[in-house]
A and B are shown apart, each in its own frame.
Chain A
C-alpha cells in the first residue's frame, strides 16, 4: 500500500443473478469478481489481463461507478467508491469497450458537450476541445459527422472524450480490440503519450503483447480472481527456463506428446494444435538434441524448433492452465 495509490481495492467482489430463464428457478448466481486487491500508483500504466468473461470489464465498471460492488472496498482517485461516487466520476475518465460516440454528431460537438457535462464553461470547453483535436490528430475531420470516421478515428474520439476533463486516472476497456494493426500501433502511441503526460492509466486487454508493450505493471485475472501480479519482466521471470515450440506436422502432436511427457527434462508440455507442441524446459540449448532423439526414436520427424524466453502468453498458460488464444 503506497501513499500515492490512485486506485486501491480490498476484497472487491461482484456477483450477478443468472439471466438464464431455465436457471431462473434456482436463482443461480455467478461470481464474476471474487474479492480482488489492487494497488495502482500515480502515473502508472496498469494492465488488467485475462480471457473474455474473466471479470475484467466487471471490475473496470465497478471502479468507474457503473456497477455497485457487492463486497469489499475501493478508493479511486482519492474518493471512496461507495460513499462518494460523484467525486470519483469527476476525477476519472472511462472509455468503454464498444465505443461511445453518436454518429449524428461531429467530434467537435461531442467533445465540447462532454467537457460541459463536467461543469466546464463553454469557452473553456471549446479551448480544451481544440487542444484535444490537435493532440489526437482529429482536427482534419473535427467538423465531419462521426458516421464518416474509420474505426481507428472513432477510437481516438472515444479516448479524447474520456480525458477531456483532465482526469487523474483513465480507464481504457480493451482500447485496441477490433482495430487494424496500423490503428492499433497508433493507439499504443496515444497511450504512451498520455502516460508521458503523467496520467494514470488502467487498461484491460486480452492481448499479451499489448500488456507487455504498454504496462508498467499488470495483473492477470481468471475466473474472477487475480492469479498473478507484477511487472511483465517479473512475471516472465517467474517461469524459469526456456520455452520450446516444436513443429511436427499434422496429426503428430499427440504421439509426440505421449513420448515427451515422460522425459525428465520436460517441466511442462502443452499442445498448441494437432501439429505443434510447447515445452517448458530448464535449458533450451541442451534440451533440443534430447527432444530430437526422443522424437525420432518414436518414428516421428521434427520439422521446426523454436527456442524463446517465456512470453506473457506462457505466463498465462502456466498460471491458468489455458492459453489466452483458446479462452
Chain B
C-alpha cells in the first residue's frame, strides 16, 4: 500500500537522521534522570499520607509522571524541526512529489514516538535498578498510552508550527500554553493533594487523565477505571489532532 510505503520512507529517513546524532536522545533523558535521582528521594515524606513507605513505592508514583512529561515535551518540540524544514524548502520539495500527505506527517511523528519509547525504556530500566517493581504487561500498556500521547503532541505541534511558521512565535506559545497544562496534570505530585477546585479544573485536562492512567498501570491496579478512561480520551484526541495536522500539511505548506 502506497501510504505505508511512503510513511516508512519518511520515517526511516527521519530515524536515520536521528541516529546520526544519538546524543539528542540522551540529552532528552538527562533532565528526567536528574529528577529521578535528585528529586524523587525528597518525595517519600511528602507521599507518606498515601501510605508510601519505601523508595520503590515512590518511584511507582513518580516515574509515570516523568514519562508523561517526556511524552508531552518530546512531541511538543517537533514543530521546531518542521519549521526548519519548511524554511529550507525540504517540505515543499516533498509536497511536489506524489507522496502521501498523511505519510509526510505520520512518518515524522513516528520518529518522536520511537524516541519517546527509547527514553521511557532508559528511565524504566534505571528505576528498576533503583528498586521499582512493575509488571511487564502493565508497562507495555503504559508505553502504548505514552506513544499515543507523543503522537498527539507531535501532530499538534506540527499543525501549530505550520500555522505560525516561525520559531519566535512557536517557542513562547508552546511554553505559555503548556505550563498550566503541565502543572494541572499531576505529573510532579498526584492531584489527590490538590484542593477540590483544582481537582475539578484538572478534570478537564487530558494529561491529568493520562497521568492517572499511567500511574494506575505502574501500580499494577489494572482494574482501575482511570486506565481505560485515560486511554479512551487520549485515543480520541490523538485521532483528532492527527487529522487536523494532516489537513494542515496538505493545504498550508505555501
Contacts and interface: CB of A to CB of B under 8 A. Distances in A.
B136 interface: no
Contact of A65 (B6, B17, B20, B96): B96
A66 B98 contact: no
B99 interface: yes
Interface in A87-120: 89-90, 92-94, 96, 98-105, 109, 113-114, 116-119
A118 B97 contact: yes
A105 B17 CA distance: 8
A101 B88 contact: yes
A118 B93 CA distance: 12
B13 interface: yes
- Name the prevailing secondary structure of the A interface residues: loop
A161 interface: yes
A64 interface: yes
Given A104-B17, A104-B20, A113-B9, A99 B88 contact: yes
Contacts of A119: 2, 98
B90 interface: yes
Nearest to A112: B13
- What size tier do the contact residues of chain A reach? 20 to 34
A90 B88 contact: no
A70 to B, nearest CB: 15
B98 A90 contact: yes
Contacts of A90: 98
Interface in A30-85: 64-67
A218 to B, nearest CB: 23
A13 B17 CA distance: 40
Contacts of B88: 99-103
Contact of A66 (B6, B20, B95): B95
Contact of A64 (B94, B96, B98, B253): B96
Interface residues of B, number: 21
A144 to B, nearest CB: 14
A93 B93 CA distance: 9
Point out which of A65, A104, A114, A161 has the most chain B C-beta atoms below 10 A from its C-beta: A104
Contacts of B254: 66-67
B9 A89 contact: no
A86 interface: yes
Contacts of A165: 97
Contacts of A94: 93, 96
B98 A114 contact: no
Given A113-B13, A117-B9, A100 B90 contact: yes
A66 to B, nearest CB: 6
A95 to B, nearest CB: 9
Max chain B CB contacts within 10 Å: which of A90, A104, A117? A117
Contact of B9 (A92, A99, A102, A116): A116
A100 B9 contact: no
B98 A100 contact: no
B9 A96 contact: no
A103 B89 CA distance: 11
B89 A99 contact: yes
B55 interface: no
Contacts of A99: 88-89
B30 to A, nearest CB: 22
Given A104-B17, A114-B97, A66 B90 contact: no
Nearest to B104: A117
B221 interface: no
B119 to A, nearest CB: 21
Interface in A110-153: 113-114, 116-119
A102 B96 contact: no
B203 interface: no
A46 to B, nearest CB: 19
B85 interface: yes
B225 interface: no
Interface string B70-102: 000000000000000100111011111111000
Given A89-B97, A114-B97, A117-B6, A96 B89 contact: yes
Nearest to A96: B89
Nearest to A115: B97
A89 B96 contact: yes
Interface in B95-152: 95-99
B111 to A, nearest CB: 14
B97 A100 contact: no
A11 B141 CA distance: 57
Given A66-B254, A104-B17, A104-B20, A117 B89 contact: no
Among B9, B13, B16, residue most surrounded by chain A Cβ atoms (within 10 Å): B13
A100 B89 contact: yes
Contacts of B98: 86, 89-90, 117-119
Interface of B: 2, 6, 9, 13, 16-17, 20, 85, 88-90, 92-99, 253-254
Interface of A: 64-67, 86, 89-90, 92-94, 96, 98-105, 109, 113-114, 116-119, 161, 165
Given A100-B88, A103-B88, 4 more contacts: A101-B90, A114-B97, A119-B98, A165-B97
